[in-house]
Amino acid sequence: MSIINAKNPSAYFRPLAEWLRNQQVVPKQYISVDNIEAMKRLASKKVGVTFLPQMAVMSEIKTGELVEIPFCEQHQFTRETFLVYKRRKHTNAAISSFVNVIQEYVKHHLLDTVQ
């Protein structure tokens, strides 16, 4: 089995690679490409398998160009996401409002994951 991944491993792929190592899955080869579209094309030509966000492959799954292969076990892959902005004395009102909404959401929904 070949695994198709991005040349610059994403935050999405790193936990997956660790999981594969822990499961002692050794791919025949890793095929690194520049973008998601190339990953999808190679998978559709049966060159190997790739792990992509569902949103990126929804239309290809609907048309049958790609097939989803469910995991035998439930495994929650997570990735870290950061909200960054430049603090200034005169911050745009829209930016301030957005930051406040995100902070409130994190406080009420993700408190156990935030340090």
Percent above pLDDT 70 for the chain: 80
Could you tell me how far CA 93 lies from the centroid of its own chain? Answer: 31
Q: Residue 61 above 90 pLDDT?
A: yes
Q: What are phi and psi of 14, to 5 degrees?
A: -55, -50
Choose from 7-16, 61-70, 96-105 the range with maximum mean pLDDT: 61-70
Residue 102 shares a structural domain with residue 57 = no
80 and 15 in contact (C-beta within 8 Å)? no
Residue 91 shares a structural domain with residue 50 = no
Number of domains in the chain: 2
pLDDT for 13-52, tens place per residue?
A: 777 788 888 888 888 898 999 999 999 999 999 999 988 8
Specify the residue for token string 């949103």: 55
Give pLDDT, residue 115. Answer: 42
What residue numbers bound the domain in which 17 lies? 2-63
